[in-house]
Amino acid sequence: MNKFFELFSKRQLFVLSVLLLSLGLFLTEFISGTSLLLSSLVLSVAASILLYAATREDLSVKFSYPIFILPFFYTLSFALFYPLIPARLLTRIAVTSIYAFGLYSLFLTQNIFVVSAVRTINLLRSARIVSFVLTIIVLFLLTNVIFSARLPFYATSVAIFVVSYLLAYQSLWTYKVSRESSRDIFLASFLISFSIAELSLVLNLWPINAAIYSIFITGIFYSYSGLTHAWSEKRLFRNVLWEYVWVGFLAVIILIFFSRWGL
């Protein structure tokens, strides 16, 4: 197997992986029910395995397990979100194309994190931005799926906590990628995800649809995580603080404005 992967460069392996996973996603769009859930999990695990295969040489120097979190949830979010939108051929092609573009960008950013754990690289800041944007997209899609599933209120909160914790952890890890793992990452991730889970518990009783639910959760997550990122970089200045505060405030305004009290 190693000899097979040695026939390709890292970038070629990324392209090949994206093509295979995009084909898999396109096929899962034709199934539903338990089969969809199982195939989505298999496809998500395959995304992490293919990323490992492409970056195995650099990972042999320093293994960085957080790089596998976002590819897994990115694939899972697209596979599970598709049934919530109209089932048309053009829609399937569009979703698959967006997934493929995002996945290739994600593989490149994760590769930067792997390399930067070993040596200094100038693209690290750009990779953090791309990774954070994809994290926000993934959280929006997954919270939409979780809320639409109409699970018991406690199950919804637990699911939101697990997803937001893992996404927050990998996002904060990107700011300490060249350093040893710190308890600060675990603590900050727990506080962010616990706060999000508490909000999701309240929102289970709030008269809103899944889209507004996801926008609010994503907006608050963006504010909490963004402030933590700024604190990690020691650039938590007044203008930066207010930027994230306004995003959180806007999320609250959208929640209140689109609530359906009395309907």
Tokens 């026939």: give the residue: 7
pLDDT truncated to tens, each residue of the chain (263 aa)? 555 556 567 888 899 999 999 999 998 878 877 888 899 999 999 999 999 988 888 777 777 788 899 999 999 999 999 888 777 888 888 989 999 999 999 999 999 888 877 777 778 888 888 999 999 999 999 999 998 888 888 888 999 999 999 999 999 888 876 555 567 788 889 999 999 999 888 888 777 888 888 899 999 999 988 888 888 777 777 777 888 888 888 988 888 888 776 44
**What's the whole-model pTM score?**
0.90
Where in the chain are the domains?
1-121, 147-263
Token reading at 234: 């020691």
- In degrees to the nearest 10, what's the CA dihedral of 27, 41, 173, 153? 110
The pLDDT, as a whole number, for residue 210 is: 82
Name, in order, each residue with C-beta under 8 angstroms of 36's C-beta and a sequence gap of 6 or more. Answer: 28, 79, 80, 83
